[in-house]
Structure 1
Amino acid sequence: MTGHTRTVTVHFDDLDAMGIVHNARYALMLERAITAFWAERGHSITASGPTSTDVINAVREFSITYHRPIRGTGDVNLRFWLEKLGETSAVVGFEFTSPDGDELYADGRRVNVKLDPRTLRPAAWSEEARGIAAGLLRTPEKISH
Structure 2
Amino acid sequence: MSDPTAAPYGHVEHVPVHFDDLDALGILHNARYAVLLERALTPYWSERGVSFQGGRHSSPDVFHAVREFTITYRAPISGTGPVAVHFWLEHFGTTSARYAFQFRSVDGHTLYAEGTRAIVRLDPATMRPTAWTETARTIAATLVRPAPVPA
State TM-score, norm by structure 2.
0.91
1:61 to 62, 68, 72: 68
Select the structure that is richer in helix.
1
Q: Distance in 1 between matches of 2:59 and 2:75?
A: 38
2:115 to 100, 108, 111: 108
Q: Which residue of 1 aligns with 2:87?
A: 80
* RMSD over aligned Cα atoms: 1.2
| Distance change (3 Å), C-alpha of 1:33 and 1:86 | same
Paired letter, 2:20 = D
Any idea what SS the aligned residue of 1:106 has?
Answer: strand
Paired letter, 2:34 = A
Paired letter, 1:2 = Y
Shift of 1:75: 1.1
Q: Distance in 2 between matches of 1:49 and 1:72?
A: 35
2:140 to 117, 129, 133: 133
Identity of aligned residues (%): 57
Q: Distance in 2 between matches of 1:11 and 1:125?
A: 34
Paired letter, 2:66 = V
Q: Distance in 1 between matches of 2:28 and 2:95?
A: 33
Count of equivalent residues: 142
Task: Please list every run of 5 or more consecutive structure 1 residues that lacks an aligned counterpart in the other structure.
Answer: none
Structure 1 residue runs of 4 or more that deviate by more than 4 Å after TM superposition: none
Q: Which residue of 2 aligns with 1:6?
A: 13
Shift of 1:138: 0.3
| Distance change (3 Å), C-alpha of 1:140 and 1:72 | farther
State TM-score, norm by structure 1.
0.94
